[in-house]
Amino acid sequence: MLDYNSHYENRIPCTTSSNTGDKWVRELLNGHPTRFYYNFRMSKQIFLDLLETLVSNYGLEGSRSTTTKEVLAITIYILAHNLTMRECLERFQHSTETISRYFSKGLDALVKLSQDVIAPIDNDDRYMPYFKDCIGAIDGTHVDARIPVKKQVPYIGRHGFPTQNVMAVCDFDMSFTFVMLGWEGSAHDSRIFQSAITNDRWNFPHPPPGNLYKIFSRVQLQLICH
């Protein structure tokens, strides 16, 4: 009990750097454009235009202590570098709870924006013929795998470390409709693909008559259809 009380009575402030997140963002906006681009994967002008759009039309808000500019910066920084809240804590000098809350605010605004700007290109003659009757896409990726040393060899692919070769099917609602797991990293995409579509045990979601999937993979580029 004494240790518990001592811990909370003698707490030491953690995020005390004078280089706060807001100060860092302002520094980047006033600095070399390459620095800004490396950190946020977009130009300063696109960032500012996006900020204005989200604030004006999609409800992005800050707080008494945090500007909308920093809220968007936190969100984009996490998305651009695939960071955890804890990894973002030091950069923006906020608690993980605060980082999480602002990230949720920024993400909510971006999702609302996406519903207005992401739409099927059904009226574009340049692309629509290639996606007519398409119900989704198939692609593969390598995922790091922790394998006992004695069993690693089949899992070591072209990158030189153990992975699983994962194949997934996604529809246009950005939902996964099928995932093929467990294949060694050295397995070729075509082998996994053929196993998925020919072995009934996997319950592959074959497209209905007249529909098709677009395949993005080392598998011979093709459309699979019925």
pTM of the model: 0.55
Q: Judge if 133 and 66 occupy the same domain.
A: no
Tens digit of pLDDT for each residue in 190-226?
899 989 988 988 999 888 887 777 776 555 444 454 4
Does one domain contain both 83 and 162? no
| Domain membership flag for residue 214 | yes
Give the pLDDT confidence of 144-177 residue by residue, as tens digits: 988 898 999 999 887 789 999 999 999 888 889 9
Q: What is the enclosing helix (H) or strand (E) of 79?
A: helix 68-81
Q: Among 117, 151, 177, which residue terminates a domain?
A: 117
Same domain, 142 and 96: no
Question: Which of the four pLDDT bands, split at 50, 70 and 90, describes residue 86?
Answer: confident
* Token pair recorded at residue 6: 């001592």
Q: Which tokens in the block code for residue 61?
A: 């808000």
Structural domain contains residue 123: no
pLDDT for 218:
53
- Which of residues 64, 97, 117 is at a domain's end? 117
Residues 163 and 66 in one domain: no
- Residue numbers of the domain that contains 219: 128-225
Looking at the structure, do residues 91 and 153 belong to the same domain, yes or no?
Answer: no
How many separate domains does the chain show?
2
Parallel, antiparallel, or unpaired for β 176-184 and 163-171? antiparallel
* Among candidate residues 219, 220, 222, the one with its CA nearest the CA of residue 167: 219
CB 135 within 8 A of CB 170: no
Does the residue 21 lie in any domain?
Answer: yes
Q: Classify 166 as helix, strand or coil.
A: strand
Asked if 169 and 219 sit in the same domain, the reply is: yes
pLDDT of residue 105: 94
Question: Do 158 and 197 fall into the same domain?
Answer: yes
CB atoms within 10 A of CB 128: 13
**What is the enclosing helix (H) or strand (E) of 102?**
helix 96-117
**103 in the same domain as 191:** no
Rounded to whole angstroms, the Cα distance separating 30 from 21 reads: 14
Strand ranges across the sheet with 134-144:
176-184, 163-171, 134-144, 212-216, 223-225
What count of other Cβ atoms lies within 10 Å of the Cβ of residue 7?
Answer: 9
What φ, ψ does residue 42 adopt, rounded to 5°? -160, 160
Quote the DSSP letter at residue 126: T
- 111 within 8 A of 60, measured Cβ to Cβ: no
Mean pLDDT of 61-66: 86
Closest CA to 165 of 147, 148, 146, 144: 144
> Which residue, 92, 117, 142, sits at the end of a domain?
117
Assigned domain for 122 exists: no
Same-domain check for residues 205 and 139: yes
Please indicate, yes or no, whether residues 69 and 137 belong to a single structural domain of this protein.
no
